[in-house]
Amino acid sequence: MMREGGGMNTRHFIYGFHAVVGRLRQQADDVTELYVDRGRRDPRVRDLLQLAAPHTIRILWVPRERLDGMAGSRNHQGVVAAVASRAAAPARDLDEILASAGGNALLLVLDGVKDPHNLGACLRVADAFGAHAVVAPKDRAAPLTPAARKVASGAADTVPFVAVTNLARTLRELKAHGVWVAGAAGEAEHDLLTARLHGPIAWVMGAEGEGLRRLTRETCDQIVRIPMVGTVDSLNVSVAAGVCLFETHRQRAVSLSA
């Protein structure tokens, strides 16, 4: 029921050591070429080439300017990988994800997060705290770009990214599957530390400054705020996601040890 389609059979580029190493460790068969700054011969590059050696990957030593053009950025650290399309538009079946997670599903849902760097950071914290997927709308949201993959530091290859057509409908379907949908908002009445975070949970985060959209907020089972004692009144979405996912992880660990 909750299924989204895959991508076309093309290729794309990922860049930066963490992103490339993560892909080589998780899905090395997808990597077709490895482009390396011809001015780099340091131990980090040698370790990367050693990791790629068992696989049929073409190694190309190229000028740094060519890497700039391939990555669309100078922040590639001297390494760019060409990756087959199988992961160019990662899409997974949420029914399958929920079934494999059992009664312990943990999802991170992003509502209107448009910055690829924030998406990458959210994938990274999702991986850190055991989230089973990151969910976002297809429209008016950041896609899984090479920049997002670089910031994710390999988490884009370990945490499924599910782009859905209608976020509110997807949340309602998750609720029908027994998933508790919790949203985070600074003006919420209830405190994160008093929320009971057991069973399957989907955390919904809005973009910094804009927050949750009205329909998304109305679909949530509960809205909570993160208690803060400093002078700032909001957190970056990836930081807020990390706090909420950590508190969920902590409560589950306490419950298991009780």
Q: What is the mean pLDDT of the chain?
A: 86
Q: Of the candidates 166, 191, 187, which has an alpha carbon nearest to the alpha carbon of residue 244?
A: 191
Domain total in the chain: 2
Determine how β-strand 79-84 pairs with β-strand 31-37.
Answer: antiparallel
Last residue of a domain, one of 46, 66, 87: 87
CATH number at 204 reads 3.40.1280.10
Both 108 and 49 in one domain: the answer is no
Checking if the pLDDT of 190 tops 80, the result is: yes
pLDDT, tens digit, for every residue of 213-254? 999 999 999 999 998 877 777 789 999 999 999 999 998 887
Question: Residue 40 is part of which domain span?
Answer: 11-87
Residue 4 inside a domain? The answer is no
Last residue of a domain, one of 46, 65, 87: 87
Question: Residue 88: its pLDDT value, please?
Answer: 38
Both 135 and 168 in one domain: the answer is yes
Q: Of the candidates 252, 3, 30, 2, which has an alpha carbon nearest to the alpha carbon of residue 130?
A: 252
pLDDT, tens digit, for every residue of 73-100? 788 899 999 887 554 334 468 888 888 8
